[in-house]
Structure 1
Amino acid sequence: MTNATENYPDSGAPTVHVIDDDPCIREALDGLFRAVGYPVRTFGATVDFVASGHHHSCGCLVLDVFLSGLNGLDFLAQFAGKAASMPVILMTGRADIPMAVRGVKAGAIDFLPKPFAVRDMLDAVASAMAKDAAQRAERARSQQLYDRMATLTGREKEVMSLVAKGKMNKQVAFEIGLSEVTVKIYRGKAMRKMGARTLADFVLMADRLDLRGGSPPPDCA
């Protein structure tokens, strides 16, 4: 049976997700986070969190280390490879240095001993939420670039890749067997489609798309 409570369950707003098998801790954190305006979801076990589907949500995760069933550290090791990089704050009443090191290596951004100061928890969550927002913004920018790249023809991608490697129009033309004028036309079309206002922007976009690694096969469009 799932021990979960949800506030604003239909909201897409960044949410604090809490996993702790102590109902008193869950209730206390639920009240604390709601008091400062965060949507909250609480769970009594990691399996409930995963079953809810919210491990792909935006926000952060406040995770107890010592849980019945799969403990927090083992779950974090699995979670890091499956979830969408949700920042994780670990908490425990039996903290030690090796445990903290293991938690950080597994991807936690903070480690709070119980009992923790309210200010420390709120500061940790604020940092986690800021990191989540930055990660989501970066993913959105990357997706926008990939969407734009999908509009390029094979030849335009090839020209973009070669330009990103520092080749001049004349060199690109020689390498792919086109005239320099035609290369300039392809480059101009690619820059417009990518939204690159300058050659420097164009090269940076190619770097983010990892187009320097090799030229995509042209479709001669």
Structure 2
Amino acid sequence: MPTLTIDHLNKSFGETQALRDMTFSVGEGELFGFVGSNGAGKSTTMRIALGVLSKDSGEVYFDDAPINDDNRRRIGYMPEERGLYGKEPLLSQLVFLGTLHGMDKSAAKRAGAELLEQLGLGERMDDKLDDLSLGNQQRVQLAASLIHDPDMLILDEPFSGLDPVAVNVMSDMLRERANRGVPVIFSSHQLDLVQRLCDRVGIVTKGHMVAE
């Protein structure tokens, strides 16, 4: 399985420097918690790693190679701004997202149905996303990040707004992926959860990693 290395990233928005020599790495099978206040630079770092934002300087390495459009396809990403389709049935949009990652339709359907079952939504596969509670919508968003069986997971505030049962379900799935060797990085404000779940924690202040 690959590793993710963030190497001296810098990023400014006008006069505001969002990242200052941001540097850390996440290894095979590791759950890495990314902690900091709002505006600390967590989401900016993740978006640069995913190619959503450009960097001013520095580099992102995926398995020791500079990250590019090809190896980004091997990453599962859960953005803080959830991006699924409210009027579409759950399984059909997971199948659609799977095919975007290069899966054939039948394989995507099997994987989507299995993930929804694991997440406790097996009986709601044909429901529209808007008919679900916020917590269940986030379970579907996790399924969307896992549909193509990624080699790495990057999750931005995946536990935000979840009830305790949903937190446990999501925690178990992330730990199970890490046990398979998948590097997992996620940001969170819930320090007790980070402490319980993570192998390592990085603390970010004003765009800089101040402690690991």
What TM-score, normalized by structure 1, do the two folds share? 0.30
**Relative CO higher for 1 or 2, CA cutoff 8 Å, sep ≥ 6?**
2
- In our comparison, the structure showing a higher alpha carbon Rg is 1
More strand by percentage: 2
The two structures have a TM-score, normalised by structure 2, of 0.31
